[in-house]
Amino acid sequence: MFREEETLLAGAKNGNAPTIVSNGSNGEVEKAPFIAKPVRLTPAWEANNLPNDELNFRGMTMERATLEINPPRDKLNIIFFILVLHGIGTLMPWNMFINANDYFVKYKLNANYTHIEADYDKDFQSYMPLAAQIPNVILNWLNIFFNLGGNLTPRIVWSIIIEVIVFIVTVGLAMVDSQEWPGIFFWVTMTSVVILNIAGGIYQNSVYGMASKLPAKYVGAVVLGSNISGAFTSVINILSTYFTSSVRTAAIYYFIGAMFALLACFDTYFALPLNRFYRYHELMNEKEVEKARKLGGQTGRPPYWTIFKQAFPQLFNVFFIFFITLSLFPNVQLAIEKSDPNFWVPDNIYMSVLCFLTFNISAMLGSLTTSWVQWPKKEHLIWPVLLRVAFIPLFLFANYKPYKINRVLPIYIKNDWAYWGIGFSMAYTSGYLSALGMMYAPQTVPQQHAQTAGMFAAAMLITGIFAGISSSTVFPFIVSNVSW
């Protein structure tokens, strides 16, 4: 027995030792050739060529394993509604100031209040859009490449805090009597607009980047919120004006309403990491980024030019939608007067109803529609986007009479109902198509680059707004020099 054990051990060292097997019938034992093989698990993890970290369960926690095995759902659409709220917050500064145009132009900067002959009221209408959109465009683009303020959390948190502080200053300026120093009030207000939109540019870009890591409908939620933002500010403006006795008191309540909305955004942002659905998609995005980095040998910086080229068709769609929309709203629509004196909307609120309220509610409904219908698909979205250029002549042929401009272009649309229908169609298609474009953009690139594609889309959105507002300045020249 001892000699047989020696033989077996010696054979094992050479890799060809016999093994002992039963012949099955009489219980006798006979020798069979032994071939040494490594011990393998079934299924064999090493056969999948997984990284060593994953093979050794490095970084794997019980919570992460549970999330991957049982992907959670967005119960009660909590994350969807939080992103709608952040969409409201992203355009809050812009909407608050354009809706408060009468407060600045007809009260604080008007000669009847200041008793000083100056052009501050006229300059406000010229300077405010530039003061708002130039820093917004610049910061949106810089935020893509340089991650201003660090990762998403400090960028979003500090942006909201800065916006709240500026609104506190704005409320303070509404409370004080500034009739003896309108120049100081004007430039402090312009500075506030610049600071608000610097913070807003970073905030908006970061929110779209955050939403792009989630399923497509959550980008649509941000777009929906941005359209609700306009309706929200319009309603606050109407209510504050209706229930208060003075323009100053109305402005105070109006800007305080914006502060509360931004504080709600601040609070709900910290609720996101507590939600299992949000944590799951954060985890999946991090996993895709890490996988791409290891397989492709990438550094920490994404391939910006490649991402831009892949997403460009949808980025152009987003840009052109907002270019057409903002070339008409609000500058052209603000100058369209009532044609029929008997039209049911009173003169004093005609502009508020047919311009701001109609646009904001219609755009909101358009964005909301994408929750159920997503047509056309991304490869055909370009066609309805390009067709929207027809709205420009339709608005110019309405009763458009720019301030202090002698119009020579004939007016062909003299029916207020027809104009209202055109305004509704323009706003509805803006909300619907822009939501589709923003949803499609992150889908055109690999998952690990979806956040960057979403940030590109947000920057193109703001660029379209700026280009549209800038182009609207040519329309008074057209109607005063083209007689058809």
For residue range 213-249, list pLDDT tens digits in order.
899 899 989 988 988 888 888 888 777 777 877 888 8
| Cα 374 → chain centroid | 18
DSSP run (H or E) holding 321:
helix 304-328
Which architecture, in CATH terms, is 77-270? Up-down Bundle (1.20)
What is the signed CA dihedral for 153, 446, 288, 146, rounded to 10 degrees? -30
SS3 per residue for 259-276 = HHHHHHHHHHHCCHHHCH
| pLDDT tops 80 at residue 16 | no
Mean pLDDT across 178-198:
93
Is the pLDDT at 210 greater than 70? The verdict is yes
| Burial class of residue 434 (count of CB atoms within 10 Å of its CB; 0-12, 13-18, 19+) | buried
Higher pLDDT, 450 or 70: 450
Given this model, what pLDDT does residue 404 score? 74
94 Cβ contact partners less than 8 Å away, ≥ 6 residues apart:
132, 136, 197, 200
Which stretches within 176-296 are classed as H helix? 182-211, 216-242, 247-269, 276-296
Residue 380: phi and psi, rounded to 5, are -115, 5
324 alpha-carbon distance from chain centroid: 18
Contact 186, 52 (CB under 8 A): no
Flag the least confident range among 7-16, 64-73, 286-295, 416-425. Answer: 7-16
Compute the mean pLDDT over every residue in the chain, rounded to the nearest whole number. Answer: 84
pLDDT digits (tens, 9 = 90+) for 79-135: 999 999 999 999 888 888 887 877 898 889 988 888 888 888 878 877 888 888 898
Q: Are 217 and 353 in contact (CB under 8 A)?
A: no
pLDDT at 12: 46
- Is there a contact between 157 and 210 (Cβ–Cβ < 8 Å)? no
- Model confidence, pTM: 0.76
β-bridge pairing 18-22 and 29-33: antiparallel
Which range is least confidently modeled, 246-250, 312-316, 373-377?
Answer: 246-250
Report the alpha-carbon distance of residue 248 to residue 175 in Å, rounded. Answer: 7
Nearest to 357 by CA among 420, 430, 403, 418: 420
What helix, strand, coil percent values describe the chain, rounded to 5?
75, 0, 25
Residues 6 or more apart from 99 whose CB is under 8 A from it?
Answer: 233, 234, 237, 254, 356
Dihedral (CA of 30, 34, 40, 44) sign: negative
What would the mean pLDDT of 417-437 be, rounded to a whole number?
96
Q: Which residues of 157-167 are buried (b: 16+ CB within 10 A; e: fewer)?
A: bbbbebbbebb
Q: What is the mean pLDDT of residues 330-354?
A: 88
CB 448 within 8 A of CB 292: yes
More confident position, 343 or 68: 343
pLDDT tier at 298, thresholds 50, 70, 90: low
Residue-wise pLDDT tens digits, 119-154: 888 788 778 888 888 988 998 898 888 866 567 788
Higher-confidence residue of 96 and 333: namely 333
Domain ranges for the chain, please list them.
2-34, 77-270, 302-449+477-484
What SS3 class is residue 5? Answer: helix
Q: Could you say which DSSP state residue 289 is in? A: H
